Structure 1
Amino acid sequence: MKLLKDILYKVKINAVSGNTSVSVNKIEFDSRKIESKDVFVALVGTLSDGHDYITKAINNGAIAIVCQKLPEKLEDNVTYIEVENSNEALAFMAANYYENPSENLKLVGTTGTNGKTTVSSLLYQLFKKAGYKVGLLSTVKIMVDDTTYETSHTTPDSLTINRFLKLMNDEGVEFCFMEVSSHGIHQKRTEGLHFEGGIFTNLSHDHLDYHSTFAEYRDVKKAFFDGLPKTAFALVNTDDKNGLVMLQNTNAKKYTYALKTYADYKAQILENQFGGLLLKLNDNEVWTKLIGNFNAYNLLAIYATSELLGLQNEESLRYISELESVSGRFEYFVSDEKITAIVDYAHTPDALKNVLETINSIRTKNEELITVVGCGGDRDATKRPKMGHIASALSTKVVFTSDNPRTEDAQSILNDIEAGVEPQNFKKVLSILDRKQAIKTACQLAQPNDIILIAGKGHETYQDINGVKNDFDDYRIVSELLKQLQK
């Protein structure tokens, strides 16, 4: 049990009704999870408003209510705290409740449109190889040193973040690497956390269903760097024009990385093939198993971060050469028939373009590049024709298909994608609604030495259709289908 007034430290409070010296059990923002003597935080979400569930929370045993607007009727023996922003309040309360665990480890956040998962996951790998106890908060999974926990959000809610950071404290974790999404920043989930550093990868077209303009999307990312303390570092990719924008108002120590422009950390691609990359990182050459220009940026960010966190360059380079690709990020295999199958999470125009350009820079042009791709439903629809244009322009054959349609009509999504195909590319394109059938068709079209790219879902092991998550794993399915066709 903790005193309510103690977990309200740093919360911006407008009004109080009741006693803040009461002992509370735990914090919840879901009224269904409320038990005796809990605090209920009423969050204002995009789909529901927690203020509508205050009465239910009290009936379930809530002893205190944190909200942005006080109810008309205030119950006896319940403390009400009116705050400016309940999401921000929850973040500070969560940090206080779990005894500010981020202050006891070196927490590094990575933000950007593409590369967050790869950079965070590879930093986790590298520091594990260096012998440290390490944590990871990512789209793919949460790691507390060697223990894996499933995750469903790029940036979890504030309670989940602090609960796992506290668990990391208990397990003696020294470093933690965390993906920081624009949703997470906007919803104040990272408030109250103490960051050792922040990394900016890039910014391109995404999430405009949530952020009304690209400028708003950029400024939300920038807010993360604006909030870094002067003791932290801010590392940004200056080949992206938004990189220097991220540094404008930060108090953190500023560092840059780039392949094309002057920067503190520079990389040069010496060799790029399906076997891996030969890179020159500053003045040091290193061979890595990862592939493509986009991974050159990721590896450069990792190299820079490891130095900023105190690793010796020689040590970092040795571990970089041993790093394995992240699940669903340019994950590939070659079948017995010499067909290369690649599964990648690319679900934005820029990410898809990067992957296709990487494949085209490696292949000899004597083989076909067959791309299977779709777009998610209930998400930014303006990127769909752009995805269609890029896929059809940079592939020799394309199969448009369903991704995660969610509550949208899958055929309508396909129509949006097809609208971006230019007339000269019409003959390249097939549209097959059923994703498994689309992958099977790509496998049937492929000849020895051809390349199949299955884009959009990457590490996901489900397909979301009308709220039901059906079992679906691109990598497993293409592996099975290619084996069947070889028989």
Structure 2
Amino acid sequence: MKFEQLIKKISYISAKKQNDFEIKEISNNSKDCSHADTFAAIKGNVLDGHKYIEDAIKYGAKTIIHTEDIDYLDNINYIKVSDSRKITSEISNILADFPAKKMTLVGVTGTNGKTTTASLIYFLIKEIFGSATNIGTDGAFVNGQRIETPNTTPNIFFINKVLNESLEKNINRAVIEASSHGLDQNRLLGINFDYGVFTNLSAEHLDYHKTMDNYFSAKMKLFEVSKVKIANFDDPYGRKSKELFDDVITFGLNEGSDYRAYEVKKIEKTTHFKVKDQDFTINSIADYEVYNSLAAITCLNQMGVDLKEISENLIKFKGIPSRFQFIENDLGKNIVIDFAHTPVAFDSLFKTIPKDVKTYAVFGVNGDRNYEFRKSTGNVCAKNKVFAVLTTDDNKFDTYENITSDVISGIEEFHGEYIKIENRKEAIKWAIKNANKGDYIVTLGKGEERFLKHHGNEKTYYNEYETILEALREI
């Protein structure tokens, strides 16, 4: 697209044209400018893109989007705007020819359960309609083919690229995980959803959002752009969403929900329940999986799929890696990987485990969580009589000792048990060795992530599943 054509389609403060290069691709990463011709300088919470403008030009950028006053170089086009995040999303949608408008889209948001709910909806759409795309925490899946994603909600360039690839393969239904950061930072700007799903809300990311009201408002940006709105009515914030949007369709276990699960029974490693007189079975004993399933059942039924057909396909879903995933072993011990990383998620998981055995939880807490979050995590362990094996997660800019002392304050408040073992593999080994047959060892917080952040945001390779297998071999 010509420079003159583009600036007619966007709002800007000033524009300076100094070359005739066409604008074909935009990025906010200077290193991408070896193939992207336009660089957007975005001022974030940690990094300021304006500091990388020279690098972007060296890599090959011909047009610069900026918000601050900068020195202009010859032969480079410049567009000064008031909000570079917003304009970047607008330009990306224009260059990609708005692929979202050509698809049926489902957005899933909430503190816990986003990934499983989105993956389940994706699975059901694929089984029932034949093809689908899923973009989220565990990667982008274009009808089963995986593409690595940089964030839970990737930037708009990545999303548009994946959606266009999907359309090229005649896939016209997609599910997107919508994180509060992604919604607040306009990473989904210009994308309207046919179905928006809200799972729940609990304290997390308050280092970014500051208050729960801000956090909730960020989540509700999804409902503002969704035709059909679906929310967990058992969650206080789900009920609050119904107050804001009177057309919200609800699910839950309590009376008053539009889609209510009742006659819930656990049999071995399955859970059985009814919704609107239809029997459903899921391959999990985790209580929260009933809510994830209800969200998916509601969404698919709203798409026009009969409840019986949903039930016949739901039973085929075996879950996703690192969500209450049992690790086979010959020790007779229940070793489980789960991505749970908030106090509420911990509490839900601990309440799922049988009470006649001991539970060891191996976990750390991220360095960017506040004292109350860390203390609450310790409280939850102690209240559920779970033995906490305190180890490393993403320390980032904090220290293991500082993080752990905050968690311990919560454990000791309710006279809980704990041990400190900084090395994550050694912590896992200790828990496995000390557990008796039938006991549960749950490793929490990392899931399918392939890294640990020891120093700032620098990533060191780490794989929870591989580490557990190594620990079992060494034992």
Shorter-chain TM-score above 0.5 = yes
Structural RMSD (CA)? 2.4
Conserved? CA contact 2:19–2:75, under 8 Å: no
Aligned pairs for 1:202-241 (under 5 A) are: 202-228=200-226, 232-241=227-236
Shift of 1:453: 1.4
- In 1, Cα distance between the equivalents of 2:145 and 2:151? 18
Corresponding residue to 1:457 among 446, 455, 475: 446
Corresponding residue to 2:291 among 286, 294, 297: 297
- In 2, Cα distance between the equivalents of 1:36 and 1:394? 53
* Matched position secondary structure for 1:91: helix
Aligned to 2:275: 281
Shift of 1:307: 1.1
Aligned to 2:397: 407
Report how many aligned residue pairs link the two structures. 474
Q: State the AA in 1 paired with 2:143.
A: D
Structure 1 residues 76 and 405: CA distance shift in structure 2, 3 A: closer
Shift of 1:347: 0.5
Higher mean Cα deviation, 4-13 or 148-157? 4-13
Structure 1 residues 40 and 478: CA distance shift in structure 2, 3 A: closer
Structure 1 residues 15 and 383: CA distance shift in structure 2, 3 A: same
* Matched position secondary structure for 2:93: helix
Question: Normalization by structure 1: what TM-score?
Answer: 0.91
Conserved? CA contact 2:425–2:471, under 8 Å: no
- In 1, Cα distance between the equivalents of 2:198 and 2:69? 39
Aligned to 1:476: 466
Conserved? CA contact 1:372–1:452, under 8 Å: yes
* Matched position secondary structure for 2:45: coil
Shift of 1:170: 0.8
**CA-to-partner distance for each residue in 1:424-460, whole Å, 9 max, x for gaps?**
524x221111111111111111111111111111222
Corresponding residue to 1:435 among 424, 449, 467: 424
Conserved? CA contact 1:400–1:430, under 8 Å: yes
* Mapped pair 1:366 → 2:366: no
Conserved? CA contact 1:155–1:179, under 8 Å: yes
Structure 1 residues 375 and 292: CA distance shift in structure 2, 3 A: same
Structure 1 stretches of 5 or more lacking a match?
none
Conserved? CA contact 1:376–1:404, under 8 Å: yes
- In 2, Cα distance between the equivalents of 1:205 and 1:424? 20
Conserved? CA contact 2:379–2:414, under 8 Å: no
- In 1, Cα distance between the equivalents of 2:121 and 2:20? 43
- In 1, Cα distance between the equivalents of 2:57 and 2:446? 41
Structure 1 residues 425 and 149: CA distance shift in structure 2, 3 A: same
Shift of 1:399: 1.2
Identity over aligned pairs, percent: 29
Aligned to 2:166: 168
- In 1, Cα distance between the equivalents of 2:144 and 2:159? 17
Higher mean Cα deviation, 297-306 or 475-484? 475-484
Structure 1 residues 130 and 96: CA distance shift in structure 2, 3 A: same
Structure 2 stretches of 5 or more lacking a match?
none
Conserved? CA contact 1:226–1:249, under 8 Å: no
* Mapped pair 1:66 → 2:57: no
- In 2, Cα distance between the equivalents of 1:462 and 1:97? 33
- In 2, Cα distance between the equivalents of 1:345 and 1:289? 18
Shift of 1:127: 1.7
**CA-to-partner distance for each residue in 1:313-333, whole Å, 9 max, x for gaps?**
221111111111111111114
**CA-to-partner distance for each residue in 1:201-233, whole Å, 9 max, x for gaps?**
0000100111111111111111221233xxx21
Shift of 1:180: 0.3
- In 1, Cα distance between the equivalents of 2:385 and 2:155? 39
- In 2, Cα distance between the equivalents of 1:367 and 1:137? 38
Structure 1 residues 5 and 353: CA distance shift in structure 2, 3 A: farther
- In 2, Cα distance between the equivalents of 1:156 and 1:14? 27
Shift of 1:235: 0.6
- In 2, Cα distance between the equivalents of 1:397 and 1:53? 47
**CA-to-partner distance for each residue in 1:36-65, whole Å, 9 max, x for gaps?**
892221111112222233344445543322
- In 2, Cα distance between the equivalents of 1:20 and 1:83? 19
- In 1, Cα distance between the equivalents of 2:163 and 2:394? 31
Aligned to 1:329: 323
Structure 1 residues 280 and 474: CA distance shift in structure 2, 3 A: same
* Matched position secondary structure for 1:404: coil
Q: State the AA in 2 paired with 1:191.
A: L
Structure 1 residues 99 and 396: CA distance shift in structure 2, 3 A: closer
Structure 1 residues 254 and 9: CA distance shift in structure 2, 3 A: farther
- In 1, Cα distance between the equivalents of 2:292 and 2:35? 47
Question: Normalization by structure 2: what TM-score?
Answer: 0.93
Aligned to 1:3: 2
* Matched position secondary structure for 2:134: strand
Aligned to 2:51: 52
Structure 1 residues 56 and 370: CA distance shift in structure 2, 3 A: closer
Conserved? CA contact 1:356–1:395, under 8 Å: no
Structure 1 residues 247 and 9: CA distance shift in structure 2, 3 A: farther
Aligned to 1:139: 137
Structure 1 residues 316 and 240: CA distance shift in structure 2, 3 A: same
- In 2, Cα distance between the equivalents of 1:25 and 1:254? 39
Aligned to 1:154: 152
* Mapped pair 1:376 → 2:379: no
* Matched position secondary structure for 1:166: helix
* Mapped pair 1:312 → 2:306: yes
- In 1, Cα distance between the equivalents of 2:244 and 2:75? 45
Higher mean Cα deviation, 292-301 or 452-461? 452-461
Conserved? CA contact 1:128–1:134, under 8 Å: yes
**CA-to-partner distance for each residue in 1:45-87, whole Å, 9 max, x for gaps?**
112222233344445543322222343x444554332222111
